[in-house]
Amino acid sequence: MALSKMDIPRAAQHFLECVIEKCERNCEFYCNPCHLRLCKQCRDEHLKSPENKNHEVVLYQQRNRQLPVEKCKIHPTKDVEMLCEECQVPVCSKCVTQREHRGHIFIDLEKNYAEKFADFQEEISKIQDYFLPTSQDLQKEIKRDSSEIKHIMDNIRTRMKTEGETLKSLMDTVVSENMKQIDQIEHSLLEDLNTQDKTLDDYITYLNNLVKELHRCLSSTETQKLMSEKKPKIRSIPETTKPVTPGFTAGQYNKNDVTKLLGKIHVPNTKAEKREIRPIESVYNTTMKPTHKQMKEDRKKSDKKQTLSLSASVTKVRKFDVPGVNNVYHVSLDQSDRLWISDNNGNLVQTDLQGNVIQKIKTSGGSEGYHTVKQDGDLIFTDKDKKVINRITQDNNITEFIKTGGCIPLSIHSSHINGDLLVGMKKGIEGKVTRYNKTGKELQNIQRDNKGQKLYRNPHYITENINGDICTSDFNNMSVVVVNKSGQHRFSYKGQESRFYPHGICTDVLGHILVCDGVTDTVHLLDQDGQFLSLLLKRQQGVLEYLHSVCVDDENNVYVGQRNTNKLTVFNYIQ
């Protein structure tokens, strides 16, 4: 399938062009000595010339920066182009002959400038990707701690007030009960005294009446009658008792007793812990000094990349059925020349490169990129129902690896750079991307851009580019969202039509982003800065329809799955 201009919609974004006259192809390479942007064909022509055969031609992203034109301060008609290593000053060709520089060593200023430029760019990148975001994260943590401190103190105040009110209520209850008891005692004592008082009243009345009777007898004129009267026997005085009055013992307490009742503030005698600062290696593995072997391997890979470019056409390699699935919604590459393929009904099968089934498991996954293979060969897949991430070791043991709390894990990708796990999640209508290290420790949460706007709603497919960018397909946002390794928003790609429903997404060895569009049933090809390059694959009636999943292997073959069949088609588009 030819990648002609007809494949590029009118609304396509502008891409960098080759500078050779009448060549309008995409620029992929850069000649450092000539400072020329070149396509693959023009690069080959450029190097065929005998005078250019030793020129350093690199990928455009790896180019040396051109030395700014600057006049020599001593010889104004001359441009500075060398650096005196001893004096550390830029000089022109005429300065070299001067007495003050006699015997000095001169180095290529342009090369030195390019190295300095690259060093400073690296430092800027470190600041923007690590130091600044990490400092901002610490600042956010401090603000969260301040908010938490206020919450804790308000809670203590409420508890203290409650304790005081409770004690006061208990005091009121005790005083009330004591008052009631003293009232009862008083009533009982007074009642007893009233009874004694009445008894004495009756006795006094009795005595008065007796005295009257005796007086009457004495006043009688009849002696015989007095003589016949018997001497009265006076009743004894009734016994009475003195009341036993209650006493009151005052409570024995002091401030410490009240403090024990109410509780007291205690500040832990613990030294404040230093806030954890994530190591720069978690963001910049490349900042670690590489070994000689690593440098050699990186050089080989770089040399290999420089020989690769987009083919003029897309070639079909093979096509095969995948038994055990109804359709092909996601493909994960295994290191052992095997594939993991899933459909939208939770069926997940492992096959060889010819489609022969090796094993099959049942999951809760559906139409999202919910599985990936780690560097050690273990399969990792999400469980939406239990909100966990599972791991299947190579001896087929399934274990629960990570719990995602209240968030539903949708998509997952194992980094080929450092082995971290990137997980697209959602909770309600909000989405996020979380980074875990190899052991399952949470390292990073990405939810909003620098302006505080939400980045994700439904990140159902996720991958990582060669520069560490995190690329997600967000179905509800109808966009491909790309952030750098520190979580800073780089760009969002909205497609080339009015509607764009991105599904499967992957990247290749050249840093291209490949994404399936569910509206037009096409595979869009973007560069790593989000510029549209072409429609890599388009619907072919009866041959290639309903494109949904996409994956690129180490041989630069692209695997394309469809949602209406269990067939997997393999193409080659890089040479």
Residues ≥6 apart with Cβ < 8 Å to 166? none
pLDDT tens-digit series, residues 457-511:
999 999 999 989 999 999 889 999 999 988 899 999 999 888 899 999 999 988 9
What's the pLDDT score for residue 291?
Answer: 41
The answer to whether 408 touches 422, Cβ cutoff 8 Å, is: no
Quick one: pLDDT band at residue 186, thresholds 50, 70, 90? very high
Q: What is the CA radius of gyration of the chain?
A: 47
CA distance 524 to 337: 26
With vertex at residue 474, the alpha carbon angle to CA 384 and CA 563, rounded to the nearest 5 degrees, is 75
Token pair of 468, please? 């560490």
The answer to whether 381 touches 371, Cβ cutoff 8 Å, is: yes
Whether 32 has a pLDDT exceeding 80, the answer reads: yes
Whose tokens are 């005294």? That residue is: 193
pLDDT tens-digit series, residues 434-451:
999 988 899 899 999 888
Q: What is the pTM of this model?
A: 0.53
Amino acid at 280: I
Quick one: pLDDT band at residue 15, thresholds 50, 70, 90? low
The DSSP output letter for 237 is: P
Determine the 3-state secondary structure of 387 from DSSP: coil
Token pair of 380, please? 């990792």
Q: Please state, in angstroms and as integers, the Cα–Cα distance from residue 369 to each residue in 41, 67, 186, 483, following that order.
A: 37, 46, 86, 18
pLDDT tens-digit series, residues 190-220:
999 999 999 999 999 999 999 998 888 888 7
The mean of the pLDDT values for the chain is: 85
